[in-house]
Amino acid sequence: MNPLRSMILAAAGNDTVRRLVATAPGTRAVVDRFVAGETVADAVTAVGRLVDDGLFATLDHLGEHTVDEAQAEHAVRTYLGLLDRLQEEGLSSRVEVSVKLSAVGLKLDEKLALDNAFRICAAAGQCGTTVTLDMEEHETTDATLRLLGELRHTWPWVGAVLQSYLRRTEDDVAALAGPDSRVRLCKGAYAAPAAVAYRRGHDVDLSYLWCANRLLAGEGYPMFATHDPRLIRILGERVRWYGRKQGSYEYQMLYGVRPAEQRRLASEGETVRVYVPFGEQWFGYLMRRLAERPANLGFFLRALASR
Ligand code: FDA
């Protein structure tokens, strides 16, 4: 892994860095580029605009590594309120939610996280929308897939995220390429040791394409989460090779990243879903975005220097 990337990801867990960044005057401008706001109302406004532009969205209430039951309950209630609002606004056919199991209690107790995720899925099902479980650090992959399996007994549409940087993912993809499955394939955003993860970008990309082929050959609904122009071009070719019709797979990108490309793909008839984070706990999310791209770090440092 690139040393700068490792350094930023390490800083993401450091409280002093967190305080420094949170109070720096230039921070707000950077946060606003990647985060849709702090409240449910902000989130609904942002996705309403995306839908008006012909895009789809998935909303993520920011927060992770919850070690307090009350905080997990707060996260669940925020999702329930959000799902109500999406239905009231007539957005639930184009907007779903993404959930980090660590935000609803995975670090506290797996059963609590399952019960909480169950409540969110039940509400989503009533609104006619779907839920995708985000994938976090590699130590949580087994538990996340276990809970996914439990949830899919009741709601086969609950989606999973698989990370192509993990060596295990080729097997996980094979297990999840069946009927009704919804798999969001991404490269992976966390620090992971060489024993479990590919370290070279080229290997991560090869793994991505191997997994994408497996998903396209399968019977599920693949969701290709990447901004990488080269991968997007190759995916377009593979989709045609497998005879996949538009609407039987989708592209996904992050809020604030390559918005022109999101609209270009949508204008060609592709389903494009934008991952829209909102909430007060933006620090970990922002650090992962900075680690991905040195240009983002430059933008951030310039904003901080302007104080
Ligand atoms: P990469 O970061 O290698 O970038 C490749 C190229 O894309 C760059 O060279 C550039 O051309 C372009 N690009 C990338 N970022 C850009 C930017 N900011 N501006 C302009 N161009 C840019 N991760 C995870 O571990 N668990 C998860 O649950 C999720 N969920 C998720 C959902 C969705 C919808 C997306 C899009 C991504 C995630 N991720 C994730 C993050 C993912 O793992 C990955 O870190 C980022 O998507 C960045 O990887 P890329 O595939 O974009 O390639």
Distance CA 173, CA 205 (A): 15
Comparing CA positions, the residue from 194, 145, 126, 140 lying closest to residue 165 is 194
Structure tokens at 242: 């497998």
229: Cβ–Cβ under 8 A, 6 or more apart, which residues? 261
pLDDT in the model for residue 307: 46
Confirm whether 134 is a catalytic residue: yes
262 is in an annotated binding site: no
The per-residue pLDDT for 6 is 75
- What pTM was estimated for this model as a whole? 0.93
Distance 40 CA to ligand 1 centre (A): 24
Q: Among the options 5, 60, 134, 172, which is catalytic? A: 134
What is the per-residue pLDDT for 29?
Answer: 79
Give the position, in ligand 1's atom list, of the atom nearest the Cα of 134.
28
**Residues 89/44, Cβ–Cβ less than 8 Å:** yes
Structure tokens at 60: 């993520």
| Span from the CA of 126 to the centroid of ligand 1 (angstroms) | 31
Type and span of the H or E element at 186: strand 182-186
Contacts of 290 (CB under 8 A, 6+ apart): 8, 296, 297, 300
Instruction: Give the chain's largest Cα–Cα span.
Output: 53
Q: Which of 292, 296, 300 to mutate for ligand 1's pocket (most ligand atoms within 8 Å of CB)?
A: 292
Task: Name the residue among 211, 226, 294 with its Cα closest to residue 258.
Answer: 226
Whether residue 211 contacts residue 185, with contact meaning beta carbons closer than 8 Å, is answered with: yes
Give the total residue count for the chain.
307
> How much is the pLDDT for 295?
67
Tokens of 139: 């130590």
Q: What residue's CA is closest to ligand 1, atom 53?
A: 228
Handedness of CA 261, 266, 271, 277 (dihedral sign): positive
The predicted pLDDT at position 304 comes to 60
CA 67 to chain centre: 21
172 given a catalytic annotation: no
pLDDT in tens, the chain (307 residues): 677 777 777 777 777 777 777 777 777 777 888 999 999 999 999 999 999 999 999 999 998 888 899 999 999 999 999 999 999 999 999 999 999 999 999 999 999 999 999 999 999 999 999 999 999 999 999 999 999 999 999 999 999 999 999 999 999 999 999 999 999 999 999 989 999 999 999 999 999 999 999 999 999 999 999 999 999 999 999 999 999 999 999 999 999 999 999 999 999 999 999 999 999 888 888 888 888 776 667 666 665 665 4
174-179's contacts with Cβ under 8 Å and 24+ in sequence apart are 174/214, 176/220, 177/214, 177/215, 177/217, 177/218, 177/219, 177/220, 178/218, 178/219, 178/220, 179/219, 179/220
Give the model's pLDDT for residue 294: 64
Domains of the chain: 36-281 (3.20.20.220)
Q: Which amino acid residue places its CA nearest to atom 9 of ligand 1?
A: 228
Q: Tell me what ipTM this predicted complex has.
A: 0.97
Q: Are 136 and 144 in contact (CB under 8 A)?
A: yes
- From the CA of 254, how far away is ligand 1's center (Å)? 7
